[in-house]
Amino acid sequence: MRDPLQTPRFAGVATFMRSPHRPDLDGTDADVAFLGVPYDDATTYRPGARFGPRAIRAASTLLKPYNPATDTSLSDLSIVDHDDAPVVPGYTEATFEAVESRVASVLARGVFPVLAGGDHSTTLPVLRAVAAEHGPVSLVQFDAHADLWTEYFGKPYNHGTTVHHAIEEGLIDPETSIRIGDRGGLYGAADVERFADAGIDYFTMDEFAAHDVASVGDAIAAHVDGPTFATIDVDVVDPAFAPGTGTPMPGGMSARELLSLTRELRRADLVGVDVVEVAPPYDHGDVTAVLAANVLFEALCAAREGGSIA
């Protein structure tokens, strides 16, 4: 990281945590690679998440390497900004192929991937690469929506079908996966039963609110098993704290609750994490991007504390 006392945080090209820009990992000794996935053609309501990675990078220039809440330091890690995946606007499946290939190259080098979407469809190719490396993984999903729809408009892939396809393709083990934050309307009562039949344990937002964060962390630790991928849809947060997202849903977590919950990921064997659905055009104060950058910082500290990153 650049020394902010030598180069002000508002100066220079914005990279994740002001880390070196390394589009090619050959010859590097990276421990962590940040990768943007600027794709939002699979949204079903408001577009704009294609600008999420750029906004998160800019917001991350505020981050410092030491976390006093967990006594965790990232200062001795080699963190690099691995640029953006080569997405193909208008072509979801071609984008998926490009993202999967890029993430696979990171994993093949033993580097911990940290990703910023993009809409939530972009998590599916990430999980394909992760599962190819580790086998079916446990999924920890912070999200206002289950993302278990089978199709939209007669087509299989969009940001609401990601987890359905991850189960169908054997990328995740639903019995060791958990989702937190469900809320809002559905198409009918049968949807609740169908979501339960998927086999993923979950806390609705009302159930989350009835517990403290530590007890939900206990549930995460008790449920996940083996290599675990964490996907954090920023719409899990109430739009009062994160207005810049494509499908805002009132009644969500506070920013503080999400940061605290992210710290609980230290109790999982993390093999990667992403934050998705940051859509800067709906947030002219950068509130959502600042939160997303800090969530990634907390996730990295959790991975370090839990031993996922040496």
Mean pLDDT on 280-309 = 96
Instruction: Say what the pLDDT of residue 73 is.
Output: 97
Question: What are the pLDDT digits (tens) for 48-76?
Answer: 999 999 999 999 999 999 999 999 999 99
Instruction: Say what the pLDDT of residue 62 is.
Output: 95
Instruction: Say what the pLDDT of residue 229 is.
Output: 98
Instruction: Say what the pLDDT of residue 8 is.
Output: 78
Positive/negative CA dihedral, 251, 153, 136, 275: negative
CA distance 182 to 197: 15
The half-sphere exposure of 190 on its side-chain side, counting CA atoms within 13 A, is: 2
Beta carbons within 10 angstroms of residue 152's beta carbon? 14
**What's the chain's average pLDDT?**
95
Mean pLDDT on 251-260 = 98
Instruction: Say what the pLDDT of residue 5 is.
Output: 63
Which residues have CB under 8 Å from 220's CB, separation 6+?
140, 178, 180, 264, 265, 267, 268
- Do the Cβ atoms of 139 and 163 come closer than 8 Å? yes
**Measured CA angle at 220 (ends 215, 224), to 5 deg:** 155
| Per-residue confidence band for 283, with pLDDT thresholds at 50, 70 and 90 | very high
* Residue 103 phi, psi dihedral angles, 5° rounding: -70, -40
Question: What are the pLDDT digits (tens) for 15-40?
Answer: 999 999 999 999 889 999 999 999 99
Mean pLDDT on 189-193 = 87
Instruction: Say what the pLDDT of residue 9 is.
Output: 75
Share of the chain above pLDDT 90, in %: 85
Mean pLDDT on 220-249 = 97
- Do the Cβ atoms of 117 and 95 come closer than 8 Å? no
Is the pLDDT assigned to residue 11 strictly greater than 80? no
CA distance 212 to 215: 6
**Measured CA angle at 232 (ends 222, 100), to 5 deg:** 105
Helix, strand, coil shares of the chain, percent, nearest 5, are 40, 20, 45
> Helix (H, G, I), strand (E, B), or coil: what is residue 58?
helix
Query: Which tokens go with 267?
Result: 């109790």
CA distance 203 to 79: 33
- Do the Cβ atoms of 198 and 148 come closer than 8 Å? yes
Question: What are the pLDDT digits (tens) for 133-188?
Answer: 999 999 999 999 999 988 788 888 888 899 999 999 999 999 999 999 999 988 88
Query: Which tokens go with 1?
Result: 């990281």
Is the pLDDT assigned to residue 310 strictly greater than 80? no
- 61 vs 5, higher pLDDT: 61
Strand-strand pairing, 66-67 and 72-73: antiparallel
> Cα 113 to chain center, whole Å?
10
- 12 vs 162, higher pLDDT: 162
